[in-house]
Structure 1
Amino acid sequence: MSYLSDALQKANRNNWSYRRIEQEANKHGYTLSFTTVGKYMRGNHPEKPGLDVIQAFAAALGVSENELLKAAGNPELKDPFVLPEEAAALDRRERESVLNMIDVIIRAKQLRRMPGTAGREYEDAAATQLPSRLHPELDNLDAAAYENADPEWKHRRAAERARGEETQETPYDGA
C-alpha cells in the first residue's frame, strides 16, 4: 500500500468496484481503465502518477485533486500561470526563451524537493546551518535587540582614526 492508495481507498466511500470507478471517471470525461484503477487502489502504481490519472480519480470519487496530489507526494495545484498581455509582442525566439527559463526553474524546484540532492542539501543548510557557518561569531547574537550591543565600538573607532583607518559604517549606539 502507498499513501495514495490509502487516500483512494478512503475516498471510495461507496465501496465501488473498479469498473464502477472507471465508469464514473468516463462520465466526467476522463479515460481510466479498471485495471489502472485496480493497480492504484492496491498501491501498485508509479512513484509519481500523472496529473491526468489524479484528476480522473478525483472526478470519479468526488474528492479534491489537491488531496490526492498530496497523498501522491506531489505539490498542490496552483492557479495557472498566465503571462501579461504585453508578452504577446514577443517573437518566436523570445517566447521559446521564456518557456525555457520557466522549464529550468521548474526542474530546479523539483530537484530541491528530492532527498539526497545537492539542491535539497543547500535548501536544508540555508534554513538551518548556513548563517552560523558563514558567521559563527554572530551565532545566538541579536545585536539590534538591546542597547549598546557592542559597548567597545567607540574605543575601536577612535583607535582606527588614530591609525588613519576610516570605516564607512557607523554602528548604532542605542542613542
Structure 2
Amino acid sequence: MTTLSETLKKNNRNGYSTNRIAQLATARGYKLSQPTVSRYLSGNHPEKPDVEVLKAFSTVLGVSVDILEKAAGVAPTYERFELPAYADKLDQSERKAVVEIVRLMAENKTVESESFHPERSDVALAADEENVGHVRRREYFDALGEESQEVGEV
C-alpha cells in the first residue's frame, strides 16, 4: 500500500468499483483502463505516476490533483490559466481586482489543504476592495458634511 493508493481509496467516497472509475474517466475523455485503476488502488503503480492518470482520478473522485501529486511524491503541475475573451470588457480597476483575487487564491492554495476554503482567505475582501474605497470616500464626504459625487452613491 502506498500513500497515493491510500489517498485514492480515502477519496473514493462513492465506493466506485475499478470498472466504474475507468468508465467514468473514459466518459470524461481520459484513457484509464480498469487494470490501471486496480494497480493504482492496490499500490502497484509506477513510482512516478503519469499526470494524466492522476488528472483522471482527480476528475472522477472529485479530489484536487495537487493532493494526488503530493501523495505520489511528485511536484505539482499547473496548467496556464487564461481569462475568457469577455474579460477584455473589464476596465483597469476591475482587472486589478481580478488579479488581486487570483493572487490571494494562489497564495492560499497549499498542497496540504484538501480543498479551497474561501472562509479561510481574504478573497472576499479583495473582491470588495473597490467598495472599501467608496466607503472611505463616503466617510470623508460625510465628515465634511457634503454629498459624494460618485456614480451609484445613495
TM-score (norm 2): 0.50
The 1:38–1:79 alpha-carbon spacing in structure 2 relative to 1, beyond 3 Å, is closer
Please state how far the C-alpha of 1:78 moved relative to its aligned partner: 3.0
Q: Which residue of 2 aligns with 1:5?
A: 5
Q: Which AA in structure 2 matches 1:63?
A: V
Of structures 1 and 2, the one scoring higher in RCO (CA 8 A, sep 6+) is 2
Q: CA deviation at 1:62?
A: 1.1
Percentage identity across aligned positions? 49
Deviation at 1:27, TM superposition (A): 1.7
Which residue matches 2:61?
Answer: 61
Give CA-to-partner distance per residue, 1:85-130, whole Å, 9 cap, x none: xxxxxxxxxxxxxxxxxxxxxxxxxxxxxxxxxxxxxxxxxxxxxx
**Residue 41 in structure 1 maps to residue 47 in structure 2:** no
The residue type equivalent to 2:22 in the other structure is E
Deviates more, 1:19-28 or 1:70-79: 70-79
Larger Rg: 1
Other structure's SS at 1:35 match: helix
1:119-138 correspondence to structure 2 within 5 Å = none
CA distance in 1, matches of 2:33, 2:79: 29
Distance 1:64 1:26 in 2: 18
The superposition leaves residues 28-57 of structure 1 with CA deviations (integer Å, 9 ceiling, x where unpaired) of 110100110000000001000011111111
Structure 2 unaligned runs (5+)? Answer: 82-154
Separation in 2 of the partners of 1:31 and 1:80?
A: 22
Count of aligned residue pairs for this structure pair? 82
Matching residue's letter, 2:49: P
Give me the TM-score of the superposition, normalised by structure 1: 0.44
Superposed CA RMSD: 1.7
Q: Structure 1 CA distance, aligned partners of 2:79 and 2:22? A: 28
Q: Structure 1 residues 24, 68: closer, same or farther in 2, change over 3 A?
A: same
